[in-house]
Copies of this chain bind each other. A is one copy, B any other.
Amino acid sequence: MFTLDQARAFVAVAEELHFGRAAERLHMTQPPLSRQVQKLEKALDVGLLIRGSRGVTLTAAGTAFLDECRQLLDRADRAPQRARLIDAGQEGLLRLGYTAASSFSILGGLLSALKERAPGVSIELREMVTAQQMEALRTGAIDMGLARPPFPDDDAVSSPLLQEALVVALHHEHPLARRGQPVTAAEVRREPLIMHSTEHARYFRDLVVGLLDVREDQVTHTVSQVLTMMTLVAAGHGCALVPDSAARLGLPKVTLLPLVESPSDVVQLHAMWSRGSTNPALKVVLPIVKLMRPNR
């Protein structure tokens, strides 16, 4: 088999049609160059050059091989390029887990920011709840997640992305909606309430329970998705507590009013990733994510 150096030597000679000039171009002397080309011809068992006393000529086989060599060397020169780009994280794949609720708050803006600041990184999106994200992160199925606290402090690292208040979602004809003033926990306690599922929306359920002291008999439905919740409110099945960003859904027949008792940062959304991740794209994405940190 031949070496890339031999190919380079041959290309130089074939282009210069002169060993001396070719050697000069390769920053070496003529004798070793002659030997390399001879060795190449021997390795291929094909004559590539016709040595004349006034320079050299290519044989038919030499012409064809010159062509092959050019392509080969071109490819060899470019081969490291992609590897370097990927290593630098400028190019690559980031598998991103996200919760359904994050999709109408921060996700859109995050994707725009990534598209702008890391255009080479393609994002693969996977909707999953926080617990699934933890597991996926652990097994390496995703590189980053948009999830809610608490986080186990072993391998997962997180950075807050979004903090918002819980607001009260009411049917637009409800008296409290017509009043248009912030609502108190006591007022909500008197209304039929659509609650979050214990298993699939534990985070929100715990928040609501902490704020409201929910009566068991006021709960009309138990659902896991904010969107379902809002739809039920629109249908007049009761009121619900949803994150502020649910306003972006713009559902008709639903009025959102502040909850007096809700701090403006009860609902937290964090970006979360594995400290041991080897994906270079993560290194590029992280600073961009951190730029989006809430500043209030």
Contacts and interface: CB of A to CB of B under 8 A. Distances in A.
B83 A68 contact: yes
Which residue, of A47, A75, A80, A84, has the highest number of chain B Cβ atoms within 10 A? A80
B83 A79 contact: no
Contacts of A80: 2, 43-44, 46, 65
Contacts of A79: 65, 68-69, 72
Contacts of A68: 75, 79, 82-83
Interface residues of A, number: 39
A60 B3 contact: no
Nearest to A8: B1
Contacts of A147: none
Contacts of A86: 60-61, 64
A279 B84 contact: no
Interface in A63-118: 64-65, 68-69, 71-72, 75-77, 79-80, 82-84, 86-87, 92-93
Contacts of A2: 76, 80
A4 interface: yes
A21 B280 CA distance: 28
Given A59-B87, A68-B79, A75-B75, A278 B1 contact: no
A87 B4 contact: no
Given A44-B80, A72-B79, A278 B50 contact: yes
A48 interface: yes
A1 B72 CA distance: 14
Nearest to A50: B278
Contacts of A69: 79
B48 A64 contact: no
Interface string A33-72: 0000000000111111010000001011110110011011
A45 B83 CA distance: 10
A62 B83 contact: yes
B82 A64 contact: yes
A279 B63 CA distance: 11
A84 B59 CA distance: 12
A146 interface: no
Interface in A238-284: 278-281
Interface in A127-159: none
Contacts of A3: 3-5
